[in-house]
C-alpha cells in the first residue's frame, strides 16, 4: 500500500526526443489512476519510469515519500502486468504465478508459496489450469495468469500497461469489471495505462489525460466530461466525441448573438463573460445535449430550438444518432485539423452528431426540430484551445463528490470482504 508522487518528471531519449515533458501527478494510497492519451503521448514511458525499466531524465519519483529515482525495479516492490503478458513459456501456470516467490530475494516456505498461489488462482478462477503451459491458454486466461503473478507479491502498487488491448471486445468488457472488482477488494494503489477512453471512464477514480508528453488534465471521469480544461480533453473524452462548431459573435441591436452554423444563440451572462471581446470562438456541444423538440416533454423556453436537416440516422436500440451536415469557418477548420491528428480524425467531419431518444421519430432525409440549452455549450479559444466556460467551482465540487464516492465504495468493499471472511 503506497502513494506514488511524480514531480516534474522528464524523459529525454539519446536522440534528443523528449517523450515526457515535466509531469506532476499525485497518486494517493489505494487510488486507481488511469493514464490515457493517444499513441505516442508518453503514457507507457511514464509507467515504465515508475516501475524502473526506464531511467528518469529529470524530476523526482517518490513512492511513499521515498525518492526512488535510482532504485532497481526489483527494489521498488511494484507489480506490473504487461501489454503482452510476458508469461514464462517454459513454466506451468502454477510456476508462473509462483515465480516471484521462488527468487532469491524472497524466502518463503513451500507451503506458504502454495497457499498464496492457490489463493490467487481461486480469486482469478484459474484452479483448473494450474498445470497447463501458457501456450495452451486463451487470451483471457493468459491475462488472468499475468494478473495472478502480480497479486501474489503483496506489492505496494499495481501497474497495468494496456492489459486489455489484445482481447476481443466482449472479453474486454468482462475483464474490465474483473479488474475493477479486484482493485476494490484488494484496495491497492493502481496505475493503469490505456488509449481507450471507455476503459478510462469506467475504471478510474481519477484520469490523467496526456498529449505529446504533457499532462492536460487530471480529474475524475465526470470532471473530465463536464468540465474539460481544453479542446483536446473535450474532444478526447466521450463517445461519440464532442461536436466542434465555429461561433461568430454578432453584435446586434437586440443584443449580442453567437452565430453557429446550426442556430443563433443569444449571449447570456455566462457566455458573454467567456467570449470576452473575441469575435470567433470554437463552440463544443456534446451529442447528448440535444433533444427532439417534438418528442420531448421538456419546457422549451430556456433553450434554443432550431430546424435542421438530418442526413443520416443510426438507430442502436437504446439511442438514435442523427447526423446533421453544416458549413464550418475556415480558421476554425484549420485549428481543428491540427487537433484531428491527435483525435483519430474525428474532429474534421462537418457533420453534427446528435444523440436522441430511441423513440424519436426523426428520420434520415427529413428536417427535424432540435432543442438544446446554452448551458450545455463549451466555448474554446481558437488560438490556445483553452476552455473559456470552465467553471472552477463546479469542477471542484465534482472532484469532492468523486472522492466521497470512492471512499464509500472502498468501505463497502472492506465490509463485504470482512463479512465473507467471517462466513468462510
By the 8 A CB rule, do 368 and 307 touch? yes
Q: Within 10 Å of residue 18's Cβ, how many Cβ atoms? A: 16
Q: Which is nearer to other proteins, 87 or 275 (CB)?
A: 87
C-beta closer to other proteins: residue 136 or 177 = 136
Q: Taking contact as CB under 8 A, which single stretch among the options 1-9, 135-143, 325-333, 351-359 is the one that binds other proteins?
A: 135-143
Please tell me whether residue 117 binds other proteins under the rule CB under 8 A. no
Give the one residue of 41, 49, 56, 87 binding other proteins; rule: CB under 8 A.
87
User: Which residues in the 142-181 window bind other proteins by CB under 8 A?
Assistant: 142, 149, 153, 166
Q: Determine how β-strand 18-27 pairs with β-strand 4-12.
A: antiparallel
First to last CA, the chain: 25
- Residue 79 vs 124, nearer CB to other proteins: 79
- Which range of residues in 85-93, 383-391, 396-404, 412-420 is near other proteins by CB under 8 A? 85-93
Would you count residue 80 as binding other proteins (CB under 8 A)? yes
Task: For residues 206 and 220, give the distance between their C-alpha atoms in angstroms, rounded to a whole number.
Answer: 4
120 binds other proteins (CB under 8 A): no
Query: Contacts with other proteins in 207-226 (CB under 8 A)?
Result: none
Q: Is residue 139 at the binding interface for other proteins, with CB under 8 A as the rule?
A: yes
**Distance set, CA 22 to CA 6, 7, 11, 35 (Å):** 9, 8, 8, 15
Question: Which grid cell is 90?
Answer: 517454459
**Beta carbon nearer to other proteins, 85 or 94:** 85
One residue of 8, 24, 53, 294 binding other proteins per CB under 8 A? 53
In this chain, which stretch among 131-139, 209-217, 326-334, 384-392 interacts with other proteins, using CB under 8 A? Answer: 131-139
CB of 266 to other proteins, least distance (A): 54
423 touches other proteins (CB under 8 A): no
Do 242 and 385 meet the contact criterion of CB atoms below 8 Å apart?
no
User: Where does this chain touch other proteins (CB under 8 A) — which range of 72-80, 223-231, 238-246, 298-306?
Assistant: 72-80
- Per CB under 8 A, the list member of 15, 17, 39, 103 interacting with other proteins is 103
> Cβ closer to other proteins: 154 or 177?
154
How far apart, in whole angstroms, are the C-alpha atoms of residue 107 and residue 278? 68
Q: Which stretch binds other proteins (CB under 8 A): 26-34, 86-94, 294-302, 331-339?
A: 86-94
How many amino acids of this chain bind other proteins (CB under 8 A)?
A: 33
Q: Which residues contact 57 (CB under 8 A, 6 or more apart)?
A: 10, 11, 12
Give the footprint of other proteins on this chain (CB under 8 A): 51-53, 72-74, 78-80, 82, 84-90, 99-100, 103-106, 133-137, 139, 142, 149, 153, 166
Amino acid at each position: 500500500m503506497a502513494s506514488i508522487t511524480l514531480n516534474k518528471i522528464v524523459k529525454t531519449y539519446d536522440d534528443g526526443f523528449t517523450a515526457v515533458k515535466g509531469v506532476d501527478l499525485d497518486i494517493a494510497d489505494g487510488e486507481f489512476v488511469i493514464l490515457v492519451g493517444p499513441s505516442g503521448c508518453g503514457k507507457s514511458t511514464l509507467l515504465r519510469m515508475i516501475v524502473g525499466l526506464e531511467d528518469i531524465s529529470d524530476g523526482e519519483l517518490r513512492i511513499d515519500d521515498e525518492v526512488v529515482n535510482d532504485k532497481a525495479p526489483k527494489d521498488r516492490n511494484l507489480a506490473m502486468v504487461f501489454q503482452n503478458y510476458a508469461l514464462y513459456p517454459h513454466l506451468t501456470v502454477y510456476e508462473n504465478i509462483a515465480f516471484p516467490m521462488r527468487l532469491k530475494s524472497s524466502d518463503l516456505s513451500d507451503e506458504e508459496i502454495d497457499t498464496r498461489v492457490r489463493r490467487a488462482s481461486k480469486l482469478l478462477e484459474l484452479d483448473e489450469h494450474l498445470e497447463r503451459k501458457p501456450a495452451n491458454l486463451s487470451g483471457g486466461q493468459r491475462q488472468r495468469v499475468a494478473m495472478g503473478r502480480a497479486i501474489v507479491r503483496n506489492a505496494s502498487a499495481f501497474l497495468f500497461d494496456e492489459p486489455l488491448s489484445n482481447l476481443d471486445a466482449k472479453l474486454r468488457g468482462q475483464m474490465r469489471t474483473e479488474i475493477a472488482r479486484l482493485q476494490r477488494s484488494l484496495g491497492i494503489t493502481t496505475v493503469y495505462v490505456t488509449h481507450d477512453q471507455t476503459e478510462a471512464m469506467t475504471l478510474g477514480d481519477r484520469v490523467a489525460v496526456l498529449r505529446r508528453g504533457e499532462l492536460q488534465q487530471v480529474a475524475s471521469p465526470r470532471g473530465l466530461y463536464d468540465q474539460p480544461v481544453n479542446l483536446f480533453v473535450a474532444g478526447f473524452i466521450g463517445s461519440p466525441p464532442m461536436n466542434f462548431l465555429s461561433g461568430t459573435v454578432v453584435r446586434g441591436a437586440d443584443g449580442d448573438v453567437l452565430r453557429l452554423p446550426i442556430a443563433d444563440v443569444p449571449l447570456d451572462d455566462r457566455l458573454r463573460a467567456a467570449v470576452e471581446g473575441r469575435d470567433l470562438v470554437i463552440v463544443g456541444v456534446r451529442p447528448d445535449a440535444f433533444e427532439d423538440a417534438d418528442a420531448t416533454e421538456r419546457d422549451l423556453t430556456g433553450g434554443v430550438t432550431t430546424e435542421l436537416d438530418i442526413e443520416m440516422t443510426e438507430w442502436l436500440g437504446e439511442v438514435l444518432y442523427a447526423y446533421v451536415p453544416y458549413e464550418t469557418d475556415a480558421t476554425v477548420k484549420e485549428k481543428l485539423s491540427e487537433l484531428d491528428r491527435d483525435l483519430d480524425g474525428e474532429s474534421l467531419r462537418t457533420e453534427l452528431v446528435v444523440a436522441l431518444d430511441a423513440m424519436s421519430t426523426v428520420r434520415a432525409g427529413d428536417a427535424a426540430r432540435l432543442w438544446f440549452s446554452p448551458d450545455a455549450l463549451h466555448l474554446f479559444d481558437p488560438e490556445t484551445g483553452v476552455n473559456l466556460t470552465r467553471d472552477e467551482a463546479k469542477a471542484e465540487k465534482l472532484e469532492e463528490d468523486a472522492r466521497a464516492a470512492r471512499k464509500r465504495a472502498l468501505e463497502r468493499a472492506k465490509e463485504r470482504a470482512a463479512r465473507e471472511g467471517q462466513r468462510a
